[in-house]
Structure 1
Amino acid sequence: MKKLQTFLFIGLLVLVLSGCSKDIKSVSSEAAEAINVSEYFPPIGMTKTYFQYGADGEKLESIETVNLSVNSDGPDTVYTHNTGGLVTDTMKEYIVSEESLRNIYVVNVTRKEEVDVVELANKPEWDKNDPDKSVSYMTATDLTMEVPAGKYDNVIEVTTVIPDDIKGRKTMHYYAPEVGLIKTVFVFEDGDEFTFSELKSAGMMDE
């Protein structure tokens, strides 16, 4: 329990993912480049509910909505608004393309700033461009995964690490087509896994 509390505290406080890059096997360049990243971001108007699991065994719910931001001086972007859960009331603005998903602005209780964090790319490996110099790897494609919201095919697994972390911890994110993130798993230095969040439901706002 203590190691979970420490892991969650660090991850939520600084909003980073920790890990060690050794022994991580990514997919081939051909498999990664075949992915259209824009298909792995939820459509505008979707509302998603997640279960988030706390260090003391509590189960909280967070709600994410996806909206369009129309810009007069540049390309239109999309943004997500998260409420509830362990990190309440967060807004993130994104640029979504076939090649990458980039978080360009963050607003929450601790920060309000421009960023340029690459959350997903159609590459076997990429720098996230966050303050901790995290590196992400596309470690699997074409997975089938079941979460409370249902069963999803063609799921992508992304493993993120910090190369300088000698303890070998990592975080694994799973993305499904037309829905986006469906599950987040922390992996500790001893190999134990902890599911931090998983998708409870997803649907369009007018449904």
Structure 2
Amino acid sequence: MKKILIVMFAFLMILTSCTVNGGPAKNPPDTDSSGTKEEPTPTVKAYDVYDLFPEVLNKHMVYNGEGNEFAEHETYVDFVRGNVVQIRDINPGTTMAKVYEIGDGIVRLVFSQGESYEVKDYTASRNKDEVILKEPIAVGTEWTVNDGATRKITAVDMDVTVPAGSYKCVEITTDNKDSIDKSYYAPGIGLVKTEFTSKEGNYLVTSELEKIE
């Protein structure tokens, strides 16, 4: 009996020793050379033109306006043919039919016609070639539009508040001969705000997204 007790006692001592001295070591938190805990690097979201120009059939957007009687307007997506989208843009003065082509990291305005009061399919028509958006979606991306104006991305994830809500936007700035135009695109939404500022007299016209239907 004594031998059994001695053997059991010895076995328990071995187990205790293994738990204290031989158990798995916990990994200490990552530190740099100064002993400071390393923080994870935040991931930056990379946008593409499809994020900023997510047009779907029958999408209806309403914009209020200030500074000009034509600043208020509303848009309808009338046709989507593959990578080509036709939008009807209605303001108090006229109705525009606009056709955009999306591909190769670029959004182009390829057709525009005023006085388009009847809904017709212009998706195969071409009378323009103006780059509206261009990848990479990063500050500094720059291109020239047909009239010689310079267009560039001047901000990413910029906070913009309009009647429809608050959004993180990409700011596109166009430096024209007589004006500075700014357009703000929210990922997953599209165009939420435009600003036109004349270089003489600081004449300002704005359009802001009021609602999406």
Counterpart-to-counterpart distance in 2, 1:114 and 1:200:
31
Deviation of 1:121 (Å): 0.8
Q: Is the 8 A contact 1:185 1:193 kept in 2?
A: no
Q: Single out whichever of 170-179 and 180-189 deviates more from structure 2.
A: 180-189
Q: Per residue, is there more strand in 1 or in 2?
A: 1
CA distance in 2, matches of 1:61, 1:192: 20
Higher relative contact order (CA 8 A, sep 6+): 1
TM-score between both structures, scaled by the size of structure 1: 0.66
**1:113 Cα deviation from its structure 2 partner:** 5.7
Spell out the pairing of 1:164-179 with structure 2 (5 A cutoff). 165=177, 169-179=179-189
| Cross-structure match for 1:181 | 191
Match of 2:144, as an amino acid?
A: D
Q: Do the aligned partners of 1:37 and 1:121 also contact (CA within 8 Å) in 2?
A: yes
Q: Which residue of 2 aligns with 1:138?
A: 153
Matched, 1:35 2:47: yes
1:54 Cα deviation (Å)?
3.9
Equivalent residue for 2:207, pick from 178, 183, 197: 197
Stretches of structure 1 that go unaligned for 5 or more consecutive residues are 1-30
Contact kept, 8 Å, 1:94 with 1:103, in 2: the verdict is yes
Let me know the Cα RMSD of the aligned residues: 2.8
Aligned residues: 157
Please report how far the alpha carbon of residue 198 of structure 1 lies from its aligned counterpart in structure 2 after TM superposition.
0.9
Structure 2 residue matching 1:160: 3-state secondary structure: strand
1:135 shift after superposition:
1.4
CA distance in 2, matches of 1:195, 1:147: 15
Which secondary structure state, in structure 2, belongs to the residue aligned with residue 114 of structure 1? coil
Which residue of the partner structure matches residue 80 of structure 1? 87
Residues 190 and 93 (structure 1), Cα distance of their counterparts in 2 relative to 1, 3 Å cut: closer
Percent identical residues: 28
**2:129 corresponds to 1:116:** yes
Partner of residue 125 from structure 1, selected from 135, 142, 146: 142
How big is the shift at 1:133?
Answer: 1.5
User: 2 CA distance for matches of 1:76 and 1:97?
Assistant: 7
Does structure 1 conserve the Cα–Cα contact (< 8 Å) formed by 2:67 and 2:205? no
Cα separation, partners in 2 of 1:141 and 1:35, compared to 1, 3 Å = same
Q: 1:185 to 1:60 in 2, by over 3 A?
A: closer
Do residues 47 (structure 1) and 60 (structure 2) align?
yes
CA drift at 1:98: 6.0
| Alignment TM-score, normalising by the size of structure 2 | 0.64
Deviation at 1:161, TM superposition (A): 1.1
